[in-house]
Structure 1
């Protein structure tokens, strides 16, 4: 599943992301050219390093010739090739372009190693990341931080020289992201906060310069969302609610096509609250646990 913006529908997209951006002397962003309501302007991929052999972070979607052409142009213009390809997680808009890159750009990928944190969804043989593993190419050292929650295999990559963090889908340039496990996701946000990055390069959306503020916003947002759910249930403690009922009451103005994703997030909150013995499930519907207040 692709990253989803859930907080609200952005009628005006943030500043347009060019196809290719030289962010710094050691980071070049190549847009995946796969825009959608789910991916914002597309998947951001990043070339990292200053020497002949560099690292590519994420590969965009499959069957996007425009992306391959942009990537080829950068590699050719800079006279560089790829020592490593790092995949932040298994979702198709991050790994889908891998085969196209390897098949269409063989002159730039000879002896290139592909790395990913292992998970059951893997259909290919990757080199397996380890938490806190470090990789170096000329001009860049990247530390791998395992940050499950969005997916079980999700990692972020800390560029030590610039104190910059490639956040994959854990933190987005606009809005908030879905997750598979809320508890793990909250812990991963705290891991990122403890890394104290100066800047975040997200998998979707524009660069985040107020890194600590953005991470704290994500943490607060999830806690606020949980409190919204608790307030509705506790103020109507004799009633039961479906996940969709709660979405309609909480996500005011959200486009209908995003309701399913929002309901998924709400259900993750409810599962967490169920484990904490704060709610009960009655015939598939949700109710505040009476012993607490009712």
Structure 2
């Protein structure tokens, strides 16, 4: 399993993460995607069918790597955590090649959008849908009840914080609560959309909640000091920011501004 203490796998080389989940790292590493998008192949041990979660960018080599990771198992479902192109661009092509159905919460990707607590059968493997808006309005996570793993897309990353757009920060905190409930079983692990697996999920979720709340508090303090403009707040809060990430930082600041304007207690104790 790829964790923070081990090197990431090479793109295209299958890397088992749990008994039922195998990682195929996409070759799209950049400032936004870190090492690349994590594509997951899910199957019950010994099964002749599997599902693919977040097939990633439309790339010939990545498509070939996914099919190789599936091996003799038939791909019967293409599951998407959210519609961003680095997760979903290959979905329809993979579905055409394999005859599988695409399942997602975004209606642009599927004829029957996923709902909270839906269950998807992949042979003997049960995949339960957790609706977790925040990063996007269509974000879902996929729980494997048989082992307690949750595939979190961009809701919880292996490192760093996801972008949360204005008006969705309250949803994001609610989704972290939802994930904490789902990951309470011993041995649970987070399998994120980017970055390494997180074997201590409750602590990881709490760490991310506190980090986001610290940022909210920093914005509130800066506003009290008279810094109101989003661009000025970015300069104040991110003094060493890489230029490629400025747009992401500005969106995050604007999300905090929207949150503090609508929540009477934006930084709970």
Q: CA shift at 1:240, angstroms?
A: 4.6
> By how many angstroms is 1:16 displaced?
2.1
2:86 match: 93
Residue pair 1:173, 1:208 contacting (<8 A) in 2 also: yes
Residues 2-151 of structure 1: pairs in structure 2 closer than 5 A: 15-18=7-10, 19-50=13-44, 51-62=47-58, 64-76=59-71, 79-103=72-96, 106=97, 109-110=98-99, 112-119=100-107, 122=108, 124-151=109-136
Structure (1 or 2) with the larger CA radius of gyration: 1
Task: Determine the C-alpha separation between the residues in 1 that align with 2:192 and 2:74.
Answer: 23
Q: Report how far residue 141 of structure 1 moved.
A: 1.4
Offset from partner CA, 1:9-56 (integer Å, 9 cap, x none): xxx997223331022332111112211111111111111113111111
Q: How much has 1:116 moved relative to structure 2?
A: 0.8
TM-score normalized by the length of structure 1: 0.81
1:6 aligned partner: none
- What is the root-mean-square deviation in Å for CA atoms of aligned residues? 2.1
Say if 2:83 and 2:106, in contact at 8 Å, map to a contact too: no
**Which residue of 1 is the match for residue 149 of structure 2?**
164
SS at 2:198 equivalent: coil
The answer to whether residue 207 in structure 2 is matched with residue 224 in structure 1 is no
Q: CA deviation at 1:199?
A: 0.4
What is the DSSP-based 3-state SS (H/G/I as helix, E as strand, rest coil) of the residue aligned with 1:127? coil
Matches of 1:140 and 1:45 in 2, distance apart? Answer: 18
Please list every run of at least 4 consecutive aligned residues from structure 1 whose deviation after the TM superposition is greater than 6 angstroms. none
TM-score (norm 2): 0.88
Indicate the SS of the match to 1:249. helix
Structure 2: 5+ residue stretches without partners: none
Q: Is the 8 A contact 1:54 1:81 kept in 2?
A: yes
Moved more, 12-21 or 143-152: 12-21
Number of equivalent positions: 254
